Structure 1
Amino acid sequence: MSVQERKERERAAREHLIVATARELAEQQGWDAVTTRRLAERIEYSQPVLYSHFRGKREIIGAVALQGATEMAAALRAATAAADSPHTRVTTLARAYLDYAEHHPAVYDAMFQLDGGLAFAHQDTPEPLKDAFAALLETLAAVAGDGVHPGLFTETFWAALHGLATLTRAGRLPPAEAGQRVELLVSRLAIT
């Protein structure tokens, strides 16, 4: 292994450590607790080392968001892979989405609530974000209905899921009826 390859591997490992530590700290104490000073202390590197990887917290949030998008896409695909009907596939997709949002609140915030400097629905949208949307579209296109653009339907269904995730987490919707909300959403929007 060349010196250059070793340095690149070490740099990638440091970057991974920064993102993992930021994510862990955010999940434990919220994003307000994530500062470059605290991250530097936790990973035992100086703040200038952090700044050699990321220009600041915004880029770290963006890195966590991209990681989350990759995980969410995989979770959605895994959840829907064994479903045997369009209705079951859409219901499973909705539940998997809401489960991800519930179990990874800081990552979900990085993806959709905080400014990570990422462009959505643009030509320069990063691939992990496009893939997360594609994971939704793969299931939802089949139930959009005649004459309905699958992408527009997916955006609308996604917006409904995001609203349910956000309002439930904020305590505005009682979690006990989450399953009924999913069934209502699927039965009213998805043409199966």
Structure 2
Amino acid sequence: MAVTERRLKQREQQKESILEAARAIMLKEGWPAVSIRKIAELIGYSLPVVYNHFENKDAIMEDFIRHGFILLGDAALAAKAQSADPAQQLKLIAIAYYDFALSHREYYQIMFGLGVPNCDRAKEIAEIGRFGDIIISSLKQLQGGECSPQTTLKFHTFWSILHGLSSINMINLTAAPGELQQKVLQDAIQGFIMNINN
């Protein structure tokens, strides 16, 4: 039993070392520079050891996506817990989302490389679904407690607002100072909430 536990612990440590190396390469050189070979060289593992944990670079990316959505979901939950009012919850979630995008750029870019995930992707990756559920629960409260096609529409509109504003500011298409960016975000969310039942 002790031998099995030791092997499992060693395997987990190897996996974490691989992810840490991938993270280090990503932070220094960007995601396109990450490769199985580079990871193996950085931590002194053979290629088969790395492939034993991750089939390919896409599998490592999926692990980053999962972890990123855990971080984003935790930030959204913490923001939501600050108020019982669903409209205020959406405002706080919006700010937390925006802050996450700017403070975790590398995760955000991997998580949303191709835009907002579709419903099928959210069903496949539980962490994406969890984040969506946090927003949907506040939307349902504002719309009388039931999930309707209108709730789904408003969910996608809300997420699109957050994603669009975060992405625009991330790539510096605007030279607006941080305070103005926050006001734009708050204005967009306030307008969204005022029209929630339209």
TM-score tier by shorter-chain length is: 0.7 to 0.9
Q: Looking at both structures, which has the greater relative contact order when contacts are Cα pairs under 8 Å and sequence separation is at least 6?
A: 1
For 1:56, the equivalent position in structure 2 comes to 56
Matches of 2:92 and 2:176, distance apart in 1: 17
**Contact map agreement 1:61 1:114 (CA 8 A) in 2:** no
Matches of 1:38 and 1:71, distance apart in 2: 26
| Structure 2 residue identity aligned to 1:166 | S
| Structure 1 residue identity aligned to 2:43 | I
**Contact map agreement 2:68 2:107 (CA 8 A) in 1:** yes
TM-score, normalised to structure 1's length? 0.86
**Contact map agreement 1:23 1:107 (CA 8 A) in 2:** no
What are the superposed Cα offsets for residues 5-42 of structure 1, whole Å, 9 maximum, x if unpaired? 32222212221222232123212321122111221122
**Contact map agreement 2:91 2:190 (CA 8 A) in 1:** no
> Displaced runs of 4+ in structure 1, greater than 4 A?
144-148
Matches of 1:37 and 1:133, distance apart in 2: 35
Matches of 1:58 and 1:21, distance apart in 2: 15
Q: Is 1:8 aligned to 2:18, yes or no?
A: no
**Contact map agreement 2:66 2:127 (CA 8 A) in 1:** yes
Matches within 5 A, 1:49-128: 49-113=49-113, 120-122=118-120, 124-128=123-127
Q: What displacement does 1:85 show?
A: 3.2
Matches of 2:89 and 2:56, distance apart in 1: 40
For 1:150, the equivalent position in structure 2 comes to 151
Instruction: Could you tell me which runs of 5 or more consecutive residues in structure 2 were left unpaired when the two chains were aligned.
Output: none
Instruction: Could you tell me which runs of 5 or more consecutive residues in structure 1 were left unpaired when the two chains were aligned.
Output: none
Q: What displacement does 1:148 show?
A: 6.2
Q: What displacement does 1:130 show?
A: 1.0
Matches of 2:185 and 2:133, distance apart in 1: 20
Matches within 5 A, 1:162-173: 162-173=163-174
The count of residues paired between Structure 1 and Structure 2 equals: 189
What are the superposed Cα offsets for residues 69-121 of structure 1, whole Å, 9 maximum, x if unpaired? 11110111012211253333222111100111111111111211069xxx842
For 1:33, the equivalent position in structure 2 comes to 33
CA RMSD of aligned residues (A): 2.5
Q: Aligned with 1:173: secondary structure?
A: coil
Matches of 1:70 and 1:104, distance apart in 2: 12
Identity over aligned residues, as a percent? 27
